[in-house]
Chain A
Amino acid sequence: MKVLIRHQKREVEVAGRRRVREVLLELGVNPESVLVIRGAQLLTHDAQVSDDDTIELRPVVSGGAA
């Protein structure tokens, strides 16, 4: 599957059907720091994604001035 890692402005390929949490683990991304989106739909960490899918990892952490 194609994984768009928005905050790192890069795209990676991850092979094989698996759960979202496994994809995040493989990419070293803390699940607390992103939302995972397929199409326009948010995915929970137990959702299955497959080779044909394109998913986006959308960062949720913002910071700077209080």
Chain B
Amino acid sequence: MRCQRCRGDASVEVRRHHTAFCNEHFIEFFDRQVERAIEGERMFTRDDRVLVAVSGGKDSLALWDVLRRLGYTATGLYINLGIGDYSQESYRKTVAYADAQGAELLVADIPQDYGMSVEEFARATRRVSCSACGLSKRYLFNRVAVDRGFTVVATGHNLDDEAAVLFGNLLHWQTEYLARQAPVLPSTHPRLARKVKPLYRIAEREAAAYAIIRGIDYIVDECPNSVGAKSLLYKEALNLLEQAAPGTKQSLYWGFLERGRPLVAAQDTAVLRDCIHCGQPTTAEVCAFCRMTERAAERMRVRRAAASVPPQDAPATDPLQPAVPAPPAGE
């Protein structure tokens, strides 16, 4: 197979575009898709300070890398979720990348700041792990962004992620969720950062190829808690369709953005107010994160009392620790 640009040996085939590229021209293709996403959806400009949610995986490290290469001001935020060896390894990969690139990295530590891991949150509140994890990450990314003066939070969600979420929401006709699925979620509250997904035009396979070609050492192993996750089942189903009909995922998601979302956008009628405990935006009196952490702490107290174990010190209230010295907000 030949590179569409230079006719040299191709290394990455992009079947949905009926094309293939060598390493050098694949990176050009990748950059162009990301720029089109950022500019086409007016995600941010080179004047914005972008907070990139970094997990140590291929998508988030690829996103951080491409944004920095394209000249955007992108600071990473890693959240320690307390998931045993997996969290330790993903933290190591993230710090190694930041150190090698001289990139600014902030770190929030859930076990240290809230007294337990996301797995313990999940067990104590009878949520599935991915739900407690997703809620914690969304909360902390927003809180850190707003507290530190970032104008926008960028996540590494790619085309496959978005197509799988859409597929799941369609299967269950979750119209409220459909209304909120978009590459850009604007700020609708003074303490709500804009959320953007600059990789929404990039397939998961392409994000991995970018990371490998760029020599990014990312964590390949999956989170142990994601075994059996519905999102993986939806991705498997979509990949079967994609293999038989290249372009299926793109057609599903991009088609939704163009023709489906306008039909359901009016259903997003949520009105945000301040959580009475933490001040973060919420649709309820107390936000979902405070409800989860407070319930988990209460159950922990009850369990400890039953077992007569003395309580630990109260958790710290500052959810952020700079791993690499960070400038004050606003610089």
Interface of A with B (CB < 8 Å)? 6-7, 30-33, 35, 37, 40-47, 58-66
Contacts and interface: CB of A to CB of B under 8 A. Distances in A.
A64 B207 CA distance: 17
B51 interface: no
B143 interface: no
Contacts, number: 88
A30 B239 contact: yes
A64 B235 CA distance: 11
Interface string B148-183: 000000000100110011000000000000000000
B90 to A, nearest CB: 11
Interface of B: 1, 10-13, 20, 23, 57-59, 130-131, 133-134, 137, 157, 160-161, 164-165, 204-205, 207-209, 212-213, 220, 222-223, 225-226, 229, 231-232, 235-236, 239-240, 242-243
Contacts of B226: 62-64
Given A32-B242, A60-B208, A63-B226, A6 B232 contact: no
Contacts of B239: 30, 32-33, 61
Contacts of A37: 212
Nearest to A9: B221
19 contacts: A30-B236, A30-B243, A40-B212, A42-B11, A44-B1, A44-B13, A58-B220, A60-B207, A61-B232, A62-B57, A62-B58, A62-B59, A62-B222, A63-B226, A63-B229, A64-B133, A64-B134, A64-B229, A65-B133
